[in-house]
Amino acid sequence: MPLTNSIYNSPVFQQACNQFDAAADILGMEAGVRERTKQPRRTLTVTLPVRMDDGRVLTYEGYRVQHNISTGPAKGGIRFHHDVTLGEVAALAMWMSWKCSLVGLPFGGAKGGVVVNARDMSTGELERLSRRYMQEIATFIGPQLDIPAPDVGTNEQVMAWMMDTYSNHVGHYDPGVITGKPIALGGSLGRREATGEGVAWFTKAYLTDLGIKASETSVIIQGFGNVGSETALALSAWGAKIIGISDFTGGVYNKAGINVKDALAYIAANKSLQGYKGGDSLTNDELLVQPCTVLIPAALERVITDKNAGKLQCRLIAEGANGPTTNEADKIIAERGDIELIPDVLCNSGGVIVSYFEWLQNQSAYYWSKEEVFEKLHRMLAKAKASVDETKAKYKCSRRTAALVLGIARVAEAKAKRGLFP
Ligand code: GLU
């Protein structure tokens, strides 16, 4: 029997479960293995009192969900966002399991989150929150147990504070506990660019399959954080034209092309895209349905829905974000038949792949060049693309379901072979 009254119940968790079921049906997965493969393994909820600069103590709620620890230490980022929910973190943890498994990493899947609007915090407040969160989850994670990383709202500096807090907890420098660190603290060259580099790599590869050249490619990117901006830089360096970008304040559209470096300099100076004069301003919703060759959602979940899927005017969707497309939108896109979609677990896997490289470098204390990192990254991406396309042809299913079939099958097999304990 499927679990009912789950604490994870929410539209986004249901979305991830429905995706899982479609793949498990193809695999003919038997009920006992199906439920234990689908449900998160364990969850820690923490209460985080933080002293604000004005002396008040505000209390935040945080989570760490380990979805799968059967195929290796759990792996996945930590999100700081005011809309974080436990159900969302659980869905994101589930996607990490399939992503790591699909690309062949020796990891399970996890995700963490804190319900907070970190934009409104001072640096000191953010540091105290980051350290408090790590202190509370320190006994639940570790280099051989669960290895966090950045996600929406967290960055290299947050990883540095967390690594320092954990190292103090265990009594020695222990960089392998977290990835996405600054280079000076055991970070990997190329990790900052990795997710965007991977999104751009898949975009180029699928456009090439479609016979579309860089000079004919226009790109709209929704979300201009680490993933969106690195993808934009990589695709514009390739020769594609970036015609639309957005952040939480809204979007900018310019048919003639947006200068990505100029937009990034504006954000560095003004903290957001608001007021940027590089094109016409429009809302995030309007941006998604403008004509372009490639649409890249690179922010949060559930932005391509049954409301706008019929109106999309792109040839290719590259999911830089996790879970940007609802189940209903997937159906509409499949029925339309004129849009190729690179699913999140494949498309944004570059980030966790280079996190794996960072962890390996930390284990051996021997560091690689950026060329070496990218060469190994591209090789893994090419292998994953080939196996997804082969599986898609074999089962005549969507590319998302094909990617999930591959990711889920390995986890289910590991669970079945390990058996139940006791
Ligand atoms: N947060 C990223 C993701 O969703 C990276 C996770 C990691 O590097 O562990 O894939």
pLDDT digits (tens, 9 = 90+) for 306-364: 999 999 999 999 999 999 999 999 999 999 999 999 999 999 999 999 999 999 999 99
pLDDT at 1: 45
Residue with tokens 């901006």: 229
pLDDT digits (tens, 9 = 90+) for 284-310: 999 999 999 999 999 999 999 999 999
Domain positions in the chain are: 40-174, 193-347
Whether 111 is catalytic:
yes
| Residue 93: closest CA among 147, 46, 160 | 147
**Domain 40-174 CATH class label:** alpha beta
DSSP string, 324-386: -B-HHHHHHHHHH---EEE-HHHHTTHHHHHHHHHHHHHHHT----HHHHHHHHHHHHHHHHH
Distance (angstroms) between ligand 1 centre and the Cα of 149 equals: 6
Ligand 1 pocket member 349 (CB < 6 A): no
> pTM score, two decimals?
0.97
Dist. CA 77 → ligand 1 center (Å): 5
Residue nearest to atom 8 of ligand 1 (CA): 352
Residue 202 is predicted with a pLDDT of 98
CB 323 within 8 A of CB 153: no
pLDDT at 4: 62
Q: Is the model's pLDDT at 83 over the cut of 70?
A: yes
Angle of helix 399-418 relative to helix 31-38, nearest 10 degrees, comes to 110
How many angstroms is it from 197 CA to the middle of ligand 1? 14
Cβ–Cβ < 8 Å for 229, 259: no
The answer to whether residue 209 scores a pLDDT higher than 80 is: yes
Q: Determine the residue type at 401.
A: T
What are the tokens at 143?
A: 């280099």
Instruction: For domain 193-347, give the CATH superfamily.
Output: NAD(P)-binding Rossmann-like Domain (3.40.50.720)
Cα separation, 149 vs 100, whole angstroms? 14
Identify the active-site residue in 38, 99, 111, 204.
111
The 8-class DSSP code of residue 188 comes to P
378-399 residue pLDDT tens: 999 999 999 999 999 999 999 9
For the residues 32-45, what does the mean pLDDT come to? 95
Ligand 1: which atom is nearest the Cα of residue 151? Answer: 1
Q: Which helix (H) or strand (E) holds 229?
A: helix 226-238
> 40-174 and 193-347: same fold?
yes
* pLDDT the model gives residue 422: 73
Q: Which atom of ligand 1 is nearest to the CA of 77?
A: 1
Residue 99: is its pLDDT beyond 60?
Answer: yes
Protein residue closest via CA to atom 10 of ligand 1: 352
Q: Tell me the mean pLDDT in the region 156-182.
A: 98
Query: Does residue 175 surpass a pLDDT of 50?
Result: yes
Q: Indicate if the pLDDT at residue 23 is higher than 60.
A: yes
The pLDDT, as a whole number, for residue 352 is: 98
**Hey, which of 195, 300, 345, 358 would you mutate to test ligand 1's pocket, going by the most ligand atoms within 8 Å of its Cβ?**
195
Averaged pLDDT of the chain: 97
358 lines ligand 1 (CB under 6 A): no
Query: Quick check: CB of 355 below 6 Å from ligand 1?
Result: yes
Helix (H) or strand (E) holding 115, with range, is strand 109-115
CA distances from 47 to 42, 53, 84, 178 (A): 17, 19, 14, 21
**Ligand 1 and 77: CB distance under 6 A:** yes
H or E segment to which residue 260 belongs? helix 260-270
- The length of the chain, given as a count of residues: 422
Residue 44 has pLDDT above 80, yes or no: yes
Instruction: Specify the residue with its C-alpha closest to ligand 1, atom 9.
Output: 76
Contacts of 73 (CB under 8 A, 6+ apart): 107, 108, 142, 143, 144, 145, 146, 147
Q: Please name the residues in contact with 353: beta carbons below 8 A apart, sequence gap of 6 or more.
A: 103, 105, 194, 198, 377, 380, 381
- For 55, phi then psi, to 5°, come to 95, -20
The percent of residues in the chain predicted with pLDDT above 70, rounded, is 99
The percent of residues in the chain predicted with pLDDT above 90, rounded, is 97
Q: Tell me the best of 78, 96, 156, 344 to mutate to test the pocket of ligand 1, counting ligand atoms within 8 Å of each CB and taking the most.
A: 96
Convert the pLDDT of each residue in 140-153 to its tens digit. Answer: 999 999 999 999 99
Q: In this structure, what are the phi and psi dihedrals at residue 76, rounded to the nearest 5 degrees? A: 165, 160
Phi then psi for 338, rounded to 5 degrees?
A: -105, 5
